[in-house]
Amino acid sequence: MNSDIFMPSQLTWATGALAGGPLIRKTTRLADLPGIFADGEAWKCGNPQKSVYDVDVLGSPVGEGALFVGVTHLRAGNVGDEFFMTRGHFHQRREQGEVYFGLRGCGLLLLQTEAGDARLEQVTAGSVHIIPPFTAHRLINTGNETLSSLAVWPSIAGHDYAALAEGFTLRIFASGEGYEVRHG
């Protein structure tokens, strides 16, 4: 009896470590982020091999109705005074939303509509972020430890980075012990 009970993958909530299943890791380094940070000279002076963030995605079925689960680990750091952040994207299928959950560290989730209206949500351990359809999203690490965030999204959503070639309308810079939000 019960011999066919399956042990699922495991998430360690405090660290965001995923285990117990096929895992696909993508590392994004400073060299992979040209044109993303405001200070291009500071970006050129940085170590191109520096890992800015890792995304671990559980290998799972793809298709209409299927969901992906992944964890982003965004390192603490700056380019000039601007905090490390993810590239940011719209979904290729714009009508598809996503949910982020803060696991550790502290930062911001930048959300932006196609009309360019932007807003920020505070990301902390336990925060829940519902990313609506038609909304671009980017994580920013404003703290001094790794920011880890769990995401669940439809496998059909896809990533559209090109639509944000002009960048987001808000940028976040270190200021004293905290941060400053600048427009443009």
98 binds Ni ion (CB under 5 A): yes
- Give min distance, CB of 159 to ligand PA5, in A: 5
Q: Which residues bind ligand PA5 (CB under 6 A)?
A: 28, 55, 70, 72, 86-89, 98, 137, 139, 151, 153, 159
CB atoms within 10 A of CB 5: 6
DSSP lists the bridge partners of residue 121 as 109
Site for Ni ion in 149-178 (CB under 5 A): none
If you write DSSP's letter for every residue of 86-114 in order, what string do you get? ---BB-SSTT--EEEEEEES-EEEEEEET
- Give min distance, CB of 81 to ligand PA5, in A: 21
Q: Which residues contact 120 (CB under 8 A, 6 or more apart)?
A: 108, 109, 110, 111, 170, 172, 181
With respect to Ni ion, which residue has the nearer C-beta, 19 or 152? 152
With respect to Ni ion, which residue has the nearer C-beta, 14 or 24? 24
3-class secondary structure, 42: helix
Q: Which of 61, 75, 73 is nearest to 30 (CA)?
A: 75
With respect to ligand PA5, which residue has the nearer C-beta, 88 or 105? 88
Is the distance from CB of 87 to CB of 36 less than 8 angstroms? yes
- Give min distance, CB of 136 to ligand PA5, in A: 9
List the single partner that 88 binds among Ni ion, ligand PA5, none, CB under 5 to 8 Å by kind: ligand PA5
- Give min distance, CB of 92 to ligand PA5, in A: 12
Measured between its terminal Cα atoms, the distance across the chain in Å is 62
- Give min distance, CB of 95 to Ni ion, in A: 13
List the single partner that 72 binds among Ni ion, ligand PA5, none, CB under 5 to 8 Å by kind: ligand PA5
Q: Which two tokens stand for residue 99?
A: 């949910």
57 binds Ni ion (CB under 5 A): no
